[in-house]
Structure formats: C-alpha cells, structure tokens
Structure 1
C-alpha cells in the first residue's frame, strides 16, 4: 500500500475526528468587517451537534472598503486590481484570524480547519446577465491558499462554485445550515437573514426536506446603506435614527415594489448588481419623487425592505402557526423589524438568539458548518437544490 503524503494524511486525520474545531469566515456585501466564528462540531448531517466557542467581527478600515469598492458589483473593473485583491484579501483575512486567535489565547494548532466564504465582488445568475451562451456565475475573491499558508491551518474555500457547477445559482447557501441547525419537528419556521440582501429558509414542521424553500427575496440593508453613505456619510442607519426622522413616501415605495424581480418565481438570487442606487433613481423618476428629502428616502428604503419581505412570505408561505427567526445586520434595524411585525401581526418574530444562534454570527457559523460537512458529511437532498458537498481544499504546506 502506497503511503499518503503528509498533507493527505493530515486531511484524513482531521476527517476521522469525531469532534472538530473549525473557524467560519464571512465578509458580506455590506463590507463592514470580517465575521470570525470559532465553532466546535460533533458528528455531521442532521445529527450535528454545534457549539459557538468564540465570535468576533473585526471592522474593516475605510481604506480597505475603498479598495474593494473599486471592483465590487461593477460590470467593468480593473483586471489588475481584481488579481491583486484576490491575493491581498486572502492574506489580510489570515492576519485577522491570527489576531482573533491571539486575543482568544488559542493556538492555530488547536484549530482543525478554516472555512472561508471570501469576498463576493460579482454575482451573475443567468436570469440577470442574459448572455445566451453563458451559465450562472459568481465570483468570490480572497484566495484560500493564502489563508492556509499564512495561518498554517487547513482551509476550505470557494463554496459557491460547486453549487453552480451542479446546476444551482451559487446562492443562497443558508439552507444547508438552516436545515441542519434550525429544523424542529412540529414547528413551522422561517429563518430570515437580513444582510445586504434579504434571504430566507422555510422549514416545514413535518421535516419533509423536499418542501424546504431557500431563496433570496430582495434588498436587505444594501439600499439603505448605500443611501446613508451618499447622503449622510455614514456606513449604515444606526438604530434607525435617520429612518425614524423621515416619512415613508408612498408613491416611491409603490414604484420600488413594482420591480419585476420581486414577483419572479422562487428560488432566485440577486445582489447589489441589481439592487443599487441606480434602481432607486429609476423608481424616483417613475414616481416623480426625485426631490424628496434624504431622511424620507432612508425611511422609504427601510419600508421597502420590510414590505418586500412580508409580501414574499404572505404569497409563498402559510403563516398559520409560523415562527420567524431573524439574523444579519437587519435584525438590529428596529424600523425594519417593527414594520415586519406590523405587517405580520399573527406571526411570532424573534432573532436567532431564541434558537441558541448568535444572529450576528449566523453566516460565519454556516460556513464553518459547510466546512465540517465537506470533511466528513454526505450530500443532503433539500428541495430542488444540488445534492453536493462544497468547498475547495487548501493545505498550509
């Protein structure tokens, strides 16, 4: 028998461990910082036992945000800048991981794997790009080899490509973690993530995985944040302070809600490539609301997020005895959550703390979970989604 090389032997040893310590990384479209979740997993699949050991969000400096924004969600970008950022972001994320481990007094050798989402710079499902000879596509940068070599920890990355290769759109991937960690027999649940884009997973209480629905809905924070940056030089509307000072402009809200993406059949995916300030400007022109105050605009965009979410839920999910658990930055937006509760008065709404999952850490936890599945799981069939394990392996040496 030919012996395994040292890298494959190390991989084999990790995969055989009944309990693994893994780090999940998430850097979202809001570009606010890197979420780092240190997780402990025992088992895999629907029998997975999970513990969040440590969590931190390390904010990005403004200089980093500006670098990424040069290529983010742009149909045309500097190819040299994309190439340089791919290496730079991988190395920078590795430095932030080492910083977090140092603060936690944990040695890199104690961590079995890193699962890195990378930084999305362009999401292009075929429905949106409409180039006849090209498939669904998405691009996340922040090379996994750089993360592995810099930290000395085995790294799994680029999860979305396998999903696309197997016939999906590369998003949302939340359903795999939501099913494995959020499913409860006898309870109909919606796990709603309000990040840059809002997405949800519907988990029917009969545990029939063929009925699970996971889909993007529309904008979460992306339009609110973009308008805050443009008009108030703020990265986001903290505590909805701006939204509460404004008034919802009904003609503009109706123009925004008329966008055809919102009535497309689910599952579907989207991103800032579609939901951006150009779209808002078009809606303002169509509704003759170009001259509304910036406060009214923030208030209306916040109402748009809540209305698009509630409209989707009412049209696609039976709300009888339904419980909604929120996560993402939007879970801490009192205006959006307040509107959500007003429009769904008979539905229980709480954040994912009620499930024992830190709502700020949820997406980073998801990728740690996908990393655990890549190492020791088997593909799980959920609805119409590809039955695959995801992630590319990078060895530290």
Structure 2
C-alpha cells in the first residue's frame, strides 16, 4: 500500500488527531497558523487549541498578492506563478512555526489549508447567464504537502460550489459542530474583510442553522486607508474613524446595493464593496471632496449598520442573542461601539469565552473541516440552498 495511505489509515484510528489549520483572509495581513488537537467528529467534535501564531506578510509579498487580488485584469502568468509561490511560502511558514513550538513535522497528522482567495464570483455578482457560481483560492496544497512532508487537505470551497452553493461562507459547518449550545441563541460574528455570521439556534436543530455574509466588515476601510495612508494597512484601533464625523448622506447612499436587502444566506466580496463602490456612492449623494477622517467615520458606521440590520432581521429589534465576535474588526472599538448601540438587548462576547482565541477561530474552523473530511459522517443541515450536507477538501499527499 502507498505509504501516504498507510499514514492516513493510522490517522483515522487515532483518538486525537493533530491538525494545523491555515487561514489567510482578504485583509492580507498574514497567515494564521493554529495547531489543534481534535477528538471525535460531527456534534461530538472536541478541540484543544495547542498553539497559535500569525506570521505577518512582508510588504513585497502583500504587494504581489494585491496586484492579482479581486482584479478582472490580473496578469494570468502572475496568477499561475503565485499559486505555486504562495503554497511554498505557506509551507515554509508552517515548518518554522512547528520548529518554534519545539516539534517536528512528523508530529503533525494533517495540514488544513484554506489558501488565499483572489477572486470570488457567485452568480449574484457576475450576472452572466449560463455561468455557475465560482471562487478561486490559490496556494497549491500539493506544494504544501511535498515541501512539509505532511498530508494536506486544501481547496475546501470547490465542493461547496459543486453541490450548488456559493463557495462561502463555510463557517457554518465548524461553528455548529464546535459552538452550538442548547438553551442559548448564538450569533458567531466574524468581522473580517467581509462581515459574516452563523446563527446557532438554542434548540440545536442543524436544519435551522445558517451562515451568511452580511456586507463589508473591514474591506472598504482597509482599501481607503491603503489608498490615502500608504504607510498603513488598516485603521489601527479605529483612530481615524474616531477623529471624523459620520456623513449621513453618504451613509444612506452606501446602503443602495441590492445585496444588502437580499435574503439569507448570501455571499459577497471586495468585487462589490470596493473603492469604485465608494466613489459611486459619493457621486450619488452629490458630495464633493470630503475629509479622510469623515469618510472613515462613515465607512465604519456603514459596516456597523449592515451587521446590526442583519442581526435584527434574524431576531427582531427586541431579540436577545448572545453575539460572539472574532476577526480583525473586533479590535476596532468604534465599530464595536456601533454594534453595542445598535443592538442594546444583545450580549457581546469574544470567542475567548468559548476557549478559542478570536484571532485563531477561522484557522481552527478549517482544521475542523479537515477532520470531518477524514472521519466525519454526514450532518444533516436540511434541504436548504446554500448549506449542502457535505464534506469538503481535497487530499494532497506528500509523496
């Protein structure tokens, strides 16, 4: 028998599997690396986060990725080259992380790699008759497997597309298995480049669980900062937004996208919410040049309002959900203040309360998806669009 498959059968028999989850989001700040000890599967999944670190990308690498990120006119040769380059860089980052934890590659059972999204094209965005939902993540899993010597599960989103969904968000699967709790309505809110949340009903009925994108989280703010403050990548601690004033005319104009009123679940990306969108909203509002701080204050209020409005659509204005935050936006106190004021009956926490670092959560969720690929049995999420009852990920062997 091929020795890689022998290794896989050994992994399947383990009581606890050591799986490294990798996540690199649309903020392009770095690679999140979470080493998880995972027991069981399905609703019996139990996770220990043993180690976690974020390895920052250097400026040159960020610029390379940004040159092909969310661009219809991207250089096809560079896309091809970066698919391999990102895989090799991520592999090296993983090996260095393993060494820093006093371990060896042979100690790790599996790597779960999300890859780097460079374009997201659901039908609701591309609008082309006869073409399916599509998304593209690069950072080849075979390169990671061969360079590290560790079995790698990658390319998770393609099965979601193949089953008729939109390829995002995938958090619903890991959120339900890890965080659902009887007696408490929970919202697992991730404020990344795009804000999304998973609804976990108090009755733990998997057929009622759903995950949805709601609109921009950090992406518009990050893009604006990078355009006008090139020495910065984001509005650290919301300082720019805090120093400006919200422009109500622009805020109203920003809410014009049909996506924002569409039903759940749905998905979007920087392909819609970008600087061209901001420019069109500014022109529609009849506004001239604005102070950068006022634009940032308004973009922050916009992100806050789309999250608030989406939660209210689920629970009503009087709802009392428990909201567990993760993602970079939870570090922006101005944005969080918008949420608290907009949802006065909700209780706000971070996933630290659930023994998972909010910065590590997305990487941990992909480790859970890889565990389900290996040992999971089908969890029934009901007959609903957007949440097929499937396992995801392609297995890449080291040799």
Query: Do they superpose with TM above 0.5?
Result: yes
How far residue 69 of structure 1 moved from its aligned partner, in angstroms, is 1.0
312, 315, 330: which one aligns with 2:313: 315
Q: Any idea what the Cα deviations from partners look like across 1:91-126, whole Å, max 9, x if unmatched? A: 000000011111111111110000000000000001
> 2:168 maps to which residue?
171
Of 88, 92, 97 in structure 1, the residue corresponding to residue 89 of structure 2 is: 92
**1:129 is the counterpart of 2:126:** yes
In structure 1, C-alpha distance between the alignment counterparts of 2:270 and 2:292, rounded to whole Å: 20
Name the residue aligned to 1:295.
Answer: 293
Other-structure match for 2:117: 120
Matched, 1:362 2:364: no
Kindly report which structure 2 residues correspond to 1:1-397, keeping only aligned pairs within 5 A, or say none: 4-233=1-230, 234-318=232-316, 320-383=319-382, 384=384, 385-397=387-399
Structure 2: distance between partners of 1:52 and 1:10: 23
Work out the CA distance in 2 between the residues paired with 1:136 and 1:306.
28
Tell me by how many angstroms 1:351 deviates: 1.2
Secondary structure class of the residue paired with 1:201: strand
SS of structure 2 residue aligned to 1:38:
strand
Contact 2:16 2:38 in 1 (8 A): yes
1:347-375 deviations in Å (ceiling 9; x for gaps):
10111111111000000000011011111
TM-score by length of 2: 0.97
- Give the root-mean-square deviation of aligned CA atoms: 0.9
Shift of 1:320: 2.6
Gaps of 5+ in 2: none
Q: How much does 1:18 deviate? A: 1.6
1:211-243 CA distances to partner (integer Å, 9 max, x unpaired)? Answer: 112100000100010011111221001111111
Given that 2:181 and 2:202 are in contact with CA atoms closer than 8 Å, whether structure 1 keeps it comes out as yes
User: Take 1:378 and 1:340, find their aligned partners in 2: how far apart are those partners?
Assistant: 37
Q: Are the aligned partners of 1:118 and 1:140 in contact in 2 as well (CA < 8 Å)?
A: yes
Further displaced range: 79-88 or 378-387 = 378-387
Gaps of 5+ in 1: none
Once residues 16 and 395 of structure 1 are traced to their aligned partners in structure 2, the CA distance between those partners, rounded to angstroms, is 18
Task: State the Cα distance separating 1:379 from its structure 2 match.
Answer: 2.1
Measured against aligned partners, the alpha-carbon deviations of 1:114-141 in whole angstroms (never above 9, x if no partner) come to: 0000000000001111111111000000
Q: Helix, strand or coil: the match of 2:70?
A: coil
SS in 2 for 1:117: strand
TM-score scaled by structure 1? 0.98
Are the equivalent residues in 2 in contact too, given 1:16–1:376 (CA < 8 A)?
no
Regions of 4+ moved over 3 Å: none
Deviation at 1:265, TM superposition (A): 1.0
Kept in 1, the 8 Å contact 2:312–2:319? The answer is no
How far residue 382 of structure 1 moved from its aligned partner, in angstroms, is 2.1
Contact 1:36–1:364 (8 Å) recurs in 2: yes
> How much has 1:209 moved relative to structure 2?
1.1
